[in-house]
Chains A and B, each alone.
Chain A
Amino acid sequence: NAGVMQNPRHLVRRRGQEARLRCSPMKGHSHVYWYRQLPEEGLKFMVYLQKENIIDESGMPKERFSAEFPKEGPSILRIQQVVRGDSAAYFCASSQTGESSYEQYFGPGTRLTVT
Chain B
Amino acid sequence: SQQGEEDPQALSIQEGENATMNCSYKTSINNLQWYRQNSGRGLVHLILIRSNEREKHSGRLRVTLDTSKKSSSLLITASRAADTASYFCATDGESGGSNYKLTFGKGTLLTVNP
Binding site for B on A (CB under 8 A): 4, 6, 31, 33, 35, 40-45, 48, 56, 58-59, 91, 93, 95, 98-101, 103-109, 111
Contact = CB atoms under 8 A, between A and B. Distances in A.
B113 interface: no
Interface residues of B, number: 27
Given A42-B4, A91-B42, A101-B30, 10 more contacts: A6-B42, A42-B104, A42-B105, A44-B104, A45-B101, A48-B100, A100-B100, A106-B44, A108-B41, A109-B41
B102 interface: yes
Interface string B84-114: 0000101011000011111111110000000
B100 A103 contact: no
A100 B99 contact: yes
B101 A48 contact: yes
A103 B42 contact: no
A101 B30 CA distance: 8
A70 to B, nearest CB: 20
Interface of B: 4, 30-31, 33, 35, 40-45, 48, 50, 88, 90, 92-93, 98-107
B100 A95 contact: yes
A99 B41 CA distance: 26
A107 B42 contact: yes
Nearest to A48: B100
B88 A43 contact: yes
B50 A56 contact: no
A100 B31 contact: yes
Contacts of B45: 103-106
A111 to B, nearest CB: 8
Contacts of A44: 104
Contacts of B100: 31, 33, 48, 56, 95, 98-100, 104
Contacts of A99: 99-100
B26 to A, nearest CB: 14
